[in-house]
A and B are shown apart, each in its own frame.
Chain A
Amino acid sequence: MVVTGLGFVTPIGNDRSTVTAHLRAGQHGLAPVEFLGNPHLAVKVAGTVKDFTVDSTSWRDWKWPAEYEIPRETLRGLAPHGVYALCAVTQALRDAGLSADAIAGDETTGMFCASAGSAMMGYHNLAQLHAVRGERGNPMGVINAISGTLNFNLAAHFHITGAVCGFVSACASASHALGYACDEIQLGRLRRVIVVGAEELNAETLLPFLAMRVLSGASDPMLASRPFDAGRDGFVGGGGATVLILEEASLAAARGVRAQAELAGWGQAADGYSMAMPHPEGAGLRRAMQRALACSGVKPEEVDYVNAHGTSTPVGDRAEALALRSVFTDAGAHPRVSSTKALTGHPLSLAGAMEAAFCVLALKEGFMPGNPHLVTPDPACEGLDLPRAAVAVAPRVVLNNSSGFGGSNVCQVFRASA
């Protein structure tokens, strides 16, 4: 099965050419932030989304680029990240050469979404409800807030009739959506799946992670998000949306559309270790990578590039480095490894889709993103090839890693299209 369309609303650009340029140049999209009017918080920078204004709890205040039309009928039920997602779906359909009419009511087209919901809208809606002791509340208060908000709204807006579903495994959510989309097509249940990942960047989404003490407190973007560096001190938040259009290869060929990459297979495995921390040696991630490679019929030495989960937390990056060494270095394989979260920050539920789309760009455009903020690699990374700058060599096979709370680990293998 193949990827035929991509849509981006990310900290490093809101279209594929801007995103590609940032990945090639190693140019980050982090900017200064302040939450809850408190300049003393130890959160100084984040991967912000530009050209959108969705910080109000009222959709009437929201703004988005003029090229996207969002009717009020749709807008009234959206969460802020739903606006990002709707624009990214519109962009991906265009990229895939599909009209909105072509997918509306098509029983072979499904939509799988990844979202943690909108904590901001949920908090606002419930505060209203509490203020009147439950007497009344916003009728859109479920639809615009709970973790199915993307699938509820987007499936209705785009008239999806194949199947619609949501995935919740924290930072592995979008990778799960992609994996199960792959299965649905392989099982012949659907011929096309629109895979959507989106996340908000606001106090309600990010500050709970400050309470967990897993965020970087650095104000210099070059120091704040530096996956695999010995001096890393936590992750940097990020928001946005990314969409991949996945199609049965014969369907894309019949439409006369050129595949951007092949999704060769995927794998997942769980840590069974902690509700929040990864297994110290990345045991689940190691097995997820091995399963993805086996599912794709790919040997470790055939992998040219790995887009690591690499969030820039001390514990997470170390576990992933050890898992990568076990799968690749120990097998005599030396793929280039980078975490593009240095540039985007960590957009949580969106991460898997965003980075899978970066992998597709790498294959299609012929380069491998680097680790521009890496100065002193953690000794745990010994033997891994972590290029600082993007490598101007076209990869043939790439692996995308995602890990989420509860020990979810999900990986996909993409191949360059013939």
Chain B
Amino acid sequence: MLPQPISDSGAQLQRFPLEVRDAFRLFRSTGDIASLHLVVLAVVRDYMPRSGGVVLTEEMRLIEDLGYDSLAVAETVFFLEDLLQVRIGNKELMEVRTVGDLRSFVTRKVEQKRSAVA
């Protein structure tokens, strides 16, 4: 059984800019993957331990390039699990190294969940 959301889905994005919340709403209503990607990028930026005006690219490595540590990775995953109602295991997580990895990994998880529901 999947965990139940702590609050109404999407409420966790309250602190994010309107465009991120709109993107999440669009993803929820249409399944638009480009919108999901925008949300994931915003979450990655939000959990960077050292804030800075970095423009995120697919190739950037979470730890080496963005200053993530294992706690920040765990925080990001906790947030995404809660937001998207997916479960991400420790082993799966170890394969995620770059921003692009995380994006495609989250996409795959969401699609798996969708096909399971269908």
Contact = CB atoms under 8 A, between A and B. Distances in A.
Contacts of A131: 4, 6
B67 to A, nearest CB: 8
Interface stretch (B24-32, B75-83, B105-113): B75-83
Contact of B71 (A60, A77, A128): A77
Tell me the dominant secondary structure on chain B's binding face: loop
Given A132-B3, A136-B3, A140-B75, A60 B15 contact: yes
Interface in B27-83: 48-51, 67, 71-72, 74-75, 78, 81-82
Interface in A130-187: 131-133, 135-140, 143
Contacts of A72: 48-51
Contacts of A137: 78
B36 to A, nearest CB: 20
Contacts of A132: 3-4, 6
B97 interface: no
6 contacts: A72-B50, A72-B51, A131-B6, A132-B4, A132-B6, A143-B71
Interface in A103-137: 128, 131-133, 135-137
Nearest to A71: B50
Contacts of B49: 71-73, 76
A139 B3 contact: no
The 5 closest A-B pairs by CB, nearest first: A132-B3, A139-B74, A135-B3, A73-B49, A139-B75
A129 to B, nearest CB: 10
B6 A138 contact: no
Contacts of B72: 76
Contacts of B3: 132-133, 135-136
B66 to A, nearest CB: 12
A73 B78 contact: no
B9 to A, nearest CB: 13
B51 A138 contact: no
A247 to B, nearest CB: 32
A136 B4 contact: no
A140 B49 CA distance: 13
Given A138-B75, A138-B78, 11 more contacts: A73-B50, A131-B6, A132-B6, A135-B2, A135-B87, A136-B3, A136-B78, A136-B87, A139-B74, A139-B75, A139-B78
Contacts of A140: 71, 75
Contacts of A71: 49-50
B75 A128 contact: no
A136 B51 contact: no
Nearest to A75: B49
A139 B67 CA distance: 17
Interface in A73-122: 73, 76-77
A76 B78 contact: no
B106 to A, nearest CB: 15
Contact of B6 (A76, A128, A143): A128
Contacts of A128: 6
Contacts of A76: 49, 71-72, 75
Contacts of B75: 76, 138-140
A139 B50 contact: no
Contacts of B67: 73
B95 to A, nearest CB: 19
A143 B71 CA distance: 11
Nearest to A127: B6
Contacts of B74: 139
Nearest to A134: B3
Nearest to A138: B78
A156 to B, nearest CB: 11
A316 to B, nearest CB: 41
A131 B4 CA distance: 7
A135 B89 CA distance: 11
A77 B74 CA distance: 13
Nearest to B70: A139
A335 B3 CA distance: 63
B50 to A, nearest CB: 6
Contact of B82 (A60, A133, A136, A143): A136
Contacts of A135: 2-3, 87
B61 to A, nearest CB: 18
A142 to B, nearest CB: 11
A139 B71 contact: yes
